[in-house]
Amino acid sequence: MFPSHATESDPPAGTWDQIELAGHLCRVFEPARPSEHGFVVIYLHGSLAAPIGRFAEFTREFDRHGLRVIEPVSGRSWWTDRLWPEFDANISAEGYVLERVVPHVEKRWGARPPRLALLGISMGGQGALRIAYKYPHLFPTVAAISPAIDYQKRIDEGVDPGLDYLYGDAEAARQDTATLHIHPLNWPRNQFFCCDPSDVRWHESADRLRMKLSSLGVPFECDLETEAGGHGYDYACHIAPRAVGFLAERLKQETRRV
């Protein structure tokens, strides 16, 4: 379905590096043969901040499609537009993406919207969706794997003091979730999200997002049926070809719009 630059047996030829950007660590991937269009994926990590480059399945797909990647590291910020002092006392994680990462990508690689895409897993998956819904002109292409959309649950359960600090109560958090940021007339043109049906914590909210998008007539793709280990990197790595392939194909489509 998607053009291939390598076979499954080929090891990824691209390289990962680390940079400091405005006082914070970012991980950067340079494929062996970058796309002629200069596409860049901004990857938002999950709550454990495990480097996506640790997983060969993702690196292989980035390399296959010639996608440059930048992965800012924000800790358990939930990628909100609220200050999380463990990350930065002066700029939110969302603000950092918009005001530091996006300009850096343009300066370093000459990549501007719509040649940018968002990708995230779990905490980063909901962050990618929420930021894309808020700023679809910047990020018309987004993919979210196992997105932790209804994160207000973690406040009710008393299992995430960080979220309680960010919002104070579950209702304030719910009001800021990705689902409530969907605008019926202004949305990212290309969106894909997926969640393992055995992911008991997050599948319901992904299905609720599916229903809302459908009722609004907003185009999207999703996979809420594939089972591959529940919530975790086994599932994420299994779905990596579909998610990264979606980004690559839709980024190409975007070039034909301008």
Q: Strand 24-30 relative to strand 68-72: parallel, antiparallel, unpaired? A: antiparallel
7 inside domain: no
Contact 63, 13 (CB under 8 A): yes
Mean pLDDT for 199-210 is 97
**40-44 β-sheet, strand order:** 15-21, 24-30, 68-72, 40-44, 116-121, 141-145, 190-194, 221-223
pTM summary value:
0.94
> Which sign does the torsion angle of CA 148, 153, 157, 158 carry?
positive
53 inside domain: yes
22 inside domain: yes
33 inside domain: yes
62 inside domain: yes
Mean pLDDT for 206-233 is 97
Strands (E), the chain: 15-21, 24-30, 40-44, 68-72, 116-121, 141-145, 190-194, 221-223
Give me the chain's average pLDDT, please: 94
Instruction: Decide: residue 71, CB within 10 A, 0-12 exposed, 13-18 middle, 19+ buried.
Output: buried
Mean pLDDT for 16-28 is 98
2 inside domain: no
For residue range 47-98, what is the model confidence (pLDDT) as tens digits? 989 999 999 999 999 999 999 999 999 999 999 999 999 999 999 999 999 9
Tell me how many domains the chain contains: 1
Domain that holds residue 32: 15-255
Residue 13's pLDDT is what? 77
> Which sign does the torsion angle of CA 175, 139, 100, 129 carry?
positive
For residue range 148-201, what is the model confidence (pLDDT) as tens digits? 999 999 999 989 989 999 999 999 999 999 999 999 999 999 999 999 999 999
9 inside domain: no
217 inside domain: yes
Place of tokens 């679809």: 136
pLDDT at 8 exceeding the cut of 50: no
